Structure 1
Amino acid sequence: MSRIQRTHLQCYYVSIVSMLLMLLLSFTLENWLKVEVTPLFLAAVVFMSWYGGLFLGLVATVLATVGKDYFFNLPLYSVPPLNWTDVCNLIIFSLVALFISSIHSELHTARPKPDVELEKLKVSHFHLLETINEGICIFNTEGQTEYVNPRLAQMLGYSTEHLSDRSIFDFINHQARLEIEQWLEQENHKHPQTKQRFEWRLQNQDQSGIWVSVSISPMLNQQGELSGAIAILTDITERKQIEAALRHSEAIAKARAEELETIMETVPVSVWIAHDPQCHYMSANRTAYEMMRMPPGSVMTATPASGEYPFPFKIQKNGQDIPLTELAMQRAGLTGQEVEAEFEFVFSDHDIRYIYGKATPLRDTDGHVRGVIGAFMDVTERQQAEAERQKLMSLLQQKQEWLDLAQKSAKIGSFYWEVPANVNVWSQELETIYGLKPGEFGGTYQDWAKFVHPDDLMNAEAELHRCINLGETEYFTDFRIIWQDGSIHWLQSRARILYDDAGQPCRMVGVNIDISERKQVEEALRQSEARLRQLLQSSIIGIIEVELDTITFANDAFLKMVGYSQEDVLARKLNWQAMTPPEYNEIDQAKVEEVLTSGVCIPFEKEYIRKDGSRVPIMLGAARLTSGPSTWVCFILDLTERKQAQAALQESELMFRTLANTTPQMFWITQPDGFHEYFNQRWYDYTGGTLEKAQGEGWLAILHPDDVQRTIECWYGCLQTGKDYEIEYRLRRADGEYRWHLGRAIPLKNKNGQILKWFGSCTDIHDQKLAIEERADAWEKERKARIELEQANRMKDDFLAIVSHELRSPLNPILGWAKLLKTRKLDQIKTKQALEVIERNAKLQARLIEDLLDVSRILRGKLSLNTCTVDLVNTIEAALETVRLAAEAKSIDIYTELATNECKVEGDPNRLQQVVWNLLTNAVKFTPEGGRVEVRLEKIGAWAQIQVSDTGKGITPDFLPYVFERFRQADEGTTRKFGGLGLGLAIVRHLVELHGGSVQVTSPGEGLGATFSVKLPLIATYQVDNDYRLPDCTPNIQGLRILIVDDDADTLELLTFILEQHGVAVQAVTSASAALEAIAQNKPDLLLSDIGMPEMDGYMLIQQIRASEAASITKLPAIALTAFAGESNSQKIISAGFQRHLTKPVEPSELAAVIANLIQI
């Protein structure tokens, strides 16, 4: 039993209580029995030292000494003065108490050592039992549990407290109880005891039960008798489940095998099983033998060892025998793959059966082929049915083609619409009707609705909803559609609506028919009917319908003409022959024959006898109706007023012609529709034509070609509005000369405002016109000249101001830093900075001057190109290098995307580089810090496109048209942020156009950047043998002897220094005469001469040198150095005798390159 651990507080508490009890007992014994209390106090010390050890014994000794002396020595309840006797008694008592305490302390310390070791061992075993993954149970011989570990409690679903002191028989079945009782009985009578294993099914808390493997070992007491047992329980539920599953699977497999064997015998499919990959040993079902027409079991191999053919029939494919090794079963066994095959069994009676099947390899657990199983079917009937189906499909396809052809010719397209899924399938003909390409239709109802005319879509949908609501199956409507090109077409839709069992529409099948032509015909018919009704309602023309000789219909105009009424017509009292005077019988008979022959007769004049006996002159035309040969319709025009007017007209016409032919103007008359029917004699005299040529629209032939269109518009406009006509145009005279005429015409109207005639004249105004035009031209020229002069003066002033600003601006830092350098007070860093500023601004001035000269060449048409084959990639990269430092200074990211394939053009490499440099400079200048510039080069067909884009200032839409104009800037005020002359982009456009290209600019707006696009024509690949490439290294001119001539000492000193830096031996002179003397003394390798010099200029110098070299084979290489940069100066320099020329200021690298190039020549 383990030693009880006590706290210090408990020890003190027990010590005090013990002493108090001892005091109380001592008082009692002393008062009642008069017993000496000293042994009692010693007993208390003994108890406390045994209970709490040495320390507590010491405490008890002190308390006992004080208590005994205070309560039991005289005087009582006080501390008396000590005498030797008392001191001896106290010392003896204390020593005895201390001795007893020490002895107990030693015993107390020595005795627990084995107990501690045992306790540690028990704790380890206890910890092992608590953490082990197996269930542990300790029970006595009666089956009562003495210990259960947490794992067993977990397995049974209980807590350890719930399992303690319970019988193990509560958790096992009857059979297990008998087994354990029998084992306990055997263990009581057997020595030595042995372990035993059982497998039990325990009942856990949720009554589901678990299987455990139990290992029981006996436990003996100190006498060696059986006191109980310890059981170790392992959960084998999962193993039991797997074993049960395996037994179940084996049973199922056995049943499946029996079922498979039954199926093989009953299935109507031939099944073969080969028990080896070579198909030496075979088994087959009954259906297979029936298919082969052989008794069951007669064929046990498909590949006999003897090589004999095992079947009484032939196995063929398309009439060719199939070797045994090529049969499906054998191929599957050899290749290890599934084989699908079709072949024929050809029997001796020439009966052929078509067989189809598959053979699949069987594999063992290692994946090796151990056999083959094959299933084959007699598909002879299917083959025959397939052949019949193919025949029917061919016939169906032919009929479909006929249907498609019929639909195409009749402009009919079919459709199929699945309503719930909204899937609309159109035929190709229907897509054509809707103006679509095959497969272009989207396939939904909404895609169809987009084509329907907005005015017709609602009606078409309403008709569809009406049919669905009423449950009708036939849908019929007309509507218009709008093609993608905007044209409108009429369609007629005829369809059948199909419904499901719930009465909801499920699909719609029908056709659309293009009825545009029919609609056009109907519209024409409607217009014709409208015109006919209008004609019938007219009071001018009489219309009658005649059947034989009787008038069966007459309009009011005819009845008014002859004096009869509608009652007379209804009574059939009107006979057209009775109304005709006898003298017209002959012509009437001729016209009747004409109608019977041709169906119509040409209108002719005759008379009718009115009801009152008077005669009315008429014009009659007739036509036979289709309803019968004796039914006609006649149109009668009353000529009474016309006849009366003809007489008056003849007299008036005579007077008019006389007056018209005597007027000096050309006079003409037209009908209300503008048909010219009369010209006076003056017209014929001027034009030299005839009435036949000028009649109708013939007069237009003598109009000047430039005046025809506006004359027609003016003339026909007046015909429609009835306004007076007045126009000036040129008419061709008979001799071919065009002369200006004033054409005027006014309409003659009746009292109703209707135009009867147009009367017009043409008056010759040629001389006046020329005088007016001359005055107008002179005034317009003067006005334009004045405007151009004012604009030129304004642009000149603006330009001079800009030039002054741009030239003076760089001079300020140049002069400022130059003066500071002269003081020699700058350190090395500031000196370097000063030189860089001076160089940068000097280059800026040189660029400004070069731009001015380029513009001057452009204005005079003197800008020329030195063309060669140019690789644009090299050109762009060279331009990028010149602006890279400026971009880096503003933290601008330059992104390039250059074509990997060759982009080569025919052009001037320097000018093309100038184009790219100008665009890049502008992009960097107008892009703020941290911006981005993109450069792209790509091929677009036969063109190379260079694009420079930036994220900078952008261009307003108002200024975009003027970007490439000279001297134009978006910001021209004194507060402008960006400098420049406004020439760069004008030069870019001109240079690009000289190369046969184009340049464009786009910008989303101000602050959104801009994109410049340059297009240049590419050259064929065979033309690019000699590509121009920019020099990529410093030329070597070391050791040359060069004579420099310049009257400007500063320039002379600079050139000398530059060349000496390249290792050149320089001889510098300040005049041409000194140069001639130097050449005579020691001829140099090259001459570098200024042009503008006093007394003898560079032209005179080179001419004398060339004259002296007339008899010499070698010529002195000469380079001109001039500040005159015009194109004419360049030509003059070359023609004078120089081979090259350079424009001041000179770039050191360019000077060295030109010298090296010339010396190589």
Structure 2
Amino acid sequence: MVPMWKDEGFGIPNKALLRLMRKDGTFTTGDQRAFLSQFDCWSEDFQHELPVDKFPIIELCRTQQRIEPLRVGMRHPVTGTRIVFEISGEPILHEETGEFLGGIVVLKDITQFTNQIAAQIEENEKQFEYIANFMPVMVWTTTPDGMHDWFSQRWYDFTGLSVEQSLGEGWRLPFHPDDMPATASRWFHSLKTGDEYNTEYRCQRYDGEWRWMLGRALPFYDDAGRIVKWFGTCTDIHDLVVARQEARQTKEQLQQVIAHAKIMLWAVNRENRLILFEGATEKYQMEEGLLGKDLYKVFGMSPLDQERWREPISEILNGKQADEIVERYMSGARYYRTRLVPLMSASRTAGIEGSAFVDGVIGVSMDITELREREEQLKEQEKENSRLLANAAAAKEASRMKSQFLANMSHEIRTPIAGVIGMSELLFDMNLDEEQKECAENIHRSANSLLTVINDILDFSKVESGRLDVEEVQFSLSVVLRDVNKMMSFAAQRKGLAYHSTIQAEVETDLRVMGDPGRLRQILTNVLTNSIKFTSMGSVKLSVSISQDTKDAVTVNFVVSDTGIGIEEEVRKRLFQPFSQADSSTARRFGGTGLGLTISKNLVELMKGQIWLDSKLGQGTTATFWIPFSKTPYQDDGSPLVNLESIPDRLQSDVSVSLGSSEDHTPPLTPKISNGHSRIQSFPLLKPNIPDHLMTLSDREREKVHILVVEDK
């Protein structure tokens, strides 16, 4: 111990303290600071040496307040052994006046106790590491400021990272960058508030596979309520996330089916309490908390109707009936036809499924009020309706036979056409003179044009018979547009037209949607083909933009404008009718069946969109259509790609494919300009830069010249 006068001018240490003084030190009662400077005083962990001003006796005399127990470290002057002391200090006051006279500090050697505690802590840490390494989850700890200072062995086994790579901020390395903003925000919030940390993110395994993880962490507080450590875990929940996504998708699909079917799907337990209610009508859409309520009260049944329903429900619950159809009034004056089936469950004991039993009743209710009203009307007009039904059946059969005839004839005609095309292609490989080659090309071109007409008739027959279907698959809209643009640019190039494409940036950056890429490509090809075919000079432009964007769907606008011959207002309205042309000479001048716009209109409407034309005679035509696409549930690389095909055969009638014109085969350039919102592509006509001496070569000399065509993508 050491007492000291209030002015720090006098102090008397005891012998135990003097034994800790340096070998060359001397004790004087005068200058106490000089005396105390002969002692080496450290923090408890011996990381920081304390100056004299921080010695407990000096602080006691300066503050005149008692010192709460604290710990400091000192070294033995001979052996250098570390000694930990617990220090307490009390002020010395005058007995009568209470005046502060000085203070006394007592140092208690607790080195052995401290070593025991340290050993116990070390043992506890080893046990913690052993348990953490044994656990199937990844365990980690951080300092109070969030710096990671330890990971269990499963972390290194899973990520393949080293200790140096993982500590500190290195924990971010294996996690997906798209998940980091939300994860970091939650982590910083927990560090600031001390709230539990909970997040889901994707972690990359050592072999490159991404797995969903559940990250959790809790703070550890000391006696003063300060955070001294964070303990966290990473649990692999990939299978759970996938199952959850599949369950959500299945539920959404079920809800869509129920909504489109216009039915109510409900289920009750053995106490007639609702446990499922989907596809509610307008009467129930504004009500909440229907689950758990009595079935009869929800449907507002009268006592008589309740008795009628209890019998079939009771028979199903008792296993006497497996399926029953009832027709009862429910929800006021509405009439429903309901199919009742048992709700089966299986007992489960210690993880083992037992036998199945009836745990409730499932009901599928369909509103047939209008149907019953129509049935009443049919009874009154039975004779007239019978005649109408007979006429309708005859007309339907005639339409079916016509469509079947068109389909059969089209297929029969396509077989010899395929032979003509194949034989004409074989002729190209033979040694033909110019006249023979031109004849072979005309045969090939004419056969392709006829095949296009046959294909249009096939699609039209499907339209009339209601068998024209569209798919619902995931695809990249930008891929479809890029391939169509490339194909149409060649067609415009051959005819000497400028081709432009303006695609909104949101669409250009690989927008993936659900729909039918083949049918979309067919619509774009039909509309662009018409613009190119009916434009003699000028340009054709395709513009694509998003008009409406919601959480689940996106509506895309397509605008095709040209500087062609235009259409008169009175004939514009009938262009979407089958086999219609602007005038009687159009087919002779430009070719075609007049089915392209009809098929396109039906395809657009099947996709729940609309299409229309705006045109003035001699001033060009603008075709506009929009289609709503459902967004994909997640973005991946499984989108079907649309392959680049040849120029549509309907263009071959007025665009020469003869090799005699080098201009027709000059590939277009595709410069790309970004204006921040849309990507504009132009496809200008280029003249081939062929030296004059090559133009005067003979046929034999030309055969020795090899031409390399390079396309810049």
**TM-score, length-normalised on structure 1?**
0.19
Bigger share in helix? 1
Q: Tell me: higher relative CO, structure 1 or 2? Use CA pairs within 8 A at least 6 residues apart.
A: 2
Scaled by the length of structure 2, what TM-score is found?
0.30
Higher-Rg structure is 1
